[in-house]
Structure 1
């Protein structure tokens, strides 16, 4: 094969497809870490009095519903964000609560299909739990857990089954995020006396099933102390 034939074959090879302009940052899909970063900024703003509780709750709902970065950034555009964007080398402490770094906590996926699944006892819970109950049940007991993140989201799916969540009585519980179709939720929402207490948010879906969350009398959230860090 001579040189002219080699050049002709090279020209016939498929060329890379050009996709045009790169995706704008605002159009990028948001990750769980992005949502958590914005949620941290909002919690700081609440603690400093820059937002009241209703504004904080409304914006937090929008954070966890956001799909893109362009939906997240406007939620903190009017807030100072410099201090919260950089990770702190030590555990964050606010009020009477001390939180460990996120990686130290568990973010379990609990699945009960034609059976049951549970997580209880003394354990370190992270920032997210996913519970799926299909013709079965899932029990989540946080009454003896150590909270390693200021906010915990429990995403529930109950199809002809049920998800039950038990909590310490001095954390904040927020519900209203469970969609019920021939099913429903019984989330007994309450606000902790301390604004810096951990926040537990319940959301998800119930079809011919149910989601229940309530506090257990006499159980208090465990503080994350230096002793815990060294254990």
Structure 2
């Protein structure tokens, strides 16, 4: 008597791979960047995607989002807007407090230096490109403790690159990707220091 083959499992019951999870994570982040998901929704769905075990777990996370190749999405590469340009000049330049974060920023330290403080900003962008040119006085970048930075594409030159950040990036937070060169003044990327954290707790 021939043994009966087991019925194949339904697609929703099949186990997912790391690549399957990453595809959903990418779709969720793109939807958030387009304004289709709020940040709290994105955080919740990313957590569920990263712990999903079957296709049935993943399916509800993107059921209300257009597919990547849907006509609801813009055709062709996304528009690349002009970057925010900061030049240190004689007295320096900075962006601090609450400010609108664009997808691209260019910072030129010149002889006054440039400071970019993202601590109080809110953005749905999955990635922010920051082109740095340390020149004489350098560039300092401050990011929240749950954001991450990538500095491998910055030429250290004389001033060097100091990346004092941790890799503990939370789902839904942007990656600050740096390019350019450190010049003589150098480039520093860090999280808020003790004094800045105290000031944040006091609501200043």
The answer to whether the superposition gives a TM-score over 0.5 is yes
Equivalent in the alignment of 1:20: none
User: Which residue is equivalent to 2:21?
Assistant: 48
Structure 1 pair 170–88 and aligned structure 2 pair: CA distance change class (3 A): closer
C-alpha separation in 1, matches of 2:45 and 2:106: 25
**8 Å CA contact 1:151, 1:199 repeated in 2:** yes
The partner residue of 1:196 within 158, 172, 175 is 172
Question: Tell me, what secondary structure is at the counterpart of 1:110?
Answer: strand
Give the superposition deviation at 1:161.
Answer: 1.6
Structure 2: gaps (5+ residues) = 1-17, 47-77, 199-204
**Bigger strand fraction:** 1
Task: Supply the distance in 1 between the matched residues of 2:161 and 2:35 (Cα, whole angstroms).
Answer: 39
Unpaired segments ≥5 residues, structure 1? 1-44, 52-79, 220-231
How does the TM-score come out when normalised to structure 1?
0.50
Q: Which has the larger radius of gyration?
A: 1
Show structure 1 runs of 4+ deviating over 6 A: none
Deviations 1:28-72 (A, max 9, x none): xxxxxxxxxxxxxxxxx9782369xxxxxxxxxxxxxxxxxxxxx
Residue 165 of structure 1: which of 138, 141, 147 is its match? 141
Aligned length: 140
The within-5 A match list for 1:180-195 is 180-195=156-171
TM-score when scaled to structure 2?
Answer: 0.56
Match runs of 1:69-148 below 5 Å: 90-91=36-37, 94-96=42-44, 107-148=83-124
CA drift of 1:142 comes to 0.6
Deviation at 1:191, TM superposition (A): 2.0
Distance of 2:162 and 2:82 partners within structure 1: 25
* Offset, 1:210: 0.6
Q: Distance in 2 between matches of 1:140 and 1:118?
A: 6
Alpha-carbon distance, 1:215 to partner:
0.7
